[in-house]
Structure 1
Amino acid sequence: MEQIIAKIDGMMCGMCESHMNDMVRNNFKVKKVTSSHAKKETVIVAEEGFDDAKFTEEVEKLGYKVLGIEHQPYEKKGLFHRK
């Protein structure tokens, strides 16, 4: 699994976050998605490859702008997680 952190410009409120999350769920196979207008980011956890170009296109359809996309390995941290 991987975690995708997308910096998004234009989200102003909780409804913007909801629109972003719905768009991601409807267009991509994801395990989890959260958006924050305060942090100006959307964080996605996905198992399969993630299409950055399609994501950028869909975000722009909503009226927002992608400032950057970062991919990193995702490690689930549970109650008994130890390193």
Structure 2
Amino acid sequence: MWKYTVEVNGMMCGMCEAHINDAVRKACPVKKVHSSRAKCQTVVLSEAELDPETIAAAIRSTGYEVGAIQKEPYQKRGFFGL
């Protein structure tokens, strides 16, 4: 599984977060997506590797600015972090 952390500027409310999440879900086969206006970021989890530019384009299409995108392997931790 892969984790993408995207810097996003311009989110002001929960509807902004939902708008970005919906756009990313429509553009990419994601397992989970979560946006945070407080952290100015969107985190995307996917079983397959994604094209970071596809994620960025989906977010830009909603009118928000996209900054750096970090990609890293993601492994879900079990109970008690094991």
TM-score by length of 2: 0.92
Q: How many equivalent residue pairs? A: 82
- Tell me the amino acid that sits aligned with residue 48 of structure 2: E
* Cα shift at 1:47: 1.2
RMSD value, Cα? 1.1
* Cα shift at 1:81: 3.3
Which residue matches 1:19? 19
Runs of 4+ in 1 over 4 A off after TM superposition: none
SS where residue 70 of structure 1 aligns? Answer: strand
CA distance in 2, matches of 1:13, 1:78: 32
Deviations 1:3-30 (A, max 9, x none): 1000101111100000011111111111
Q: How does 1:1-83 map to 2 (within 5 A)?
A: 1-82=1-82
Gaps of 5+ in 1: none
Gaps of 5+ in 2: none
TM-score by length of 1: 0.91
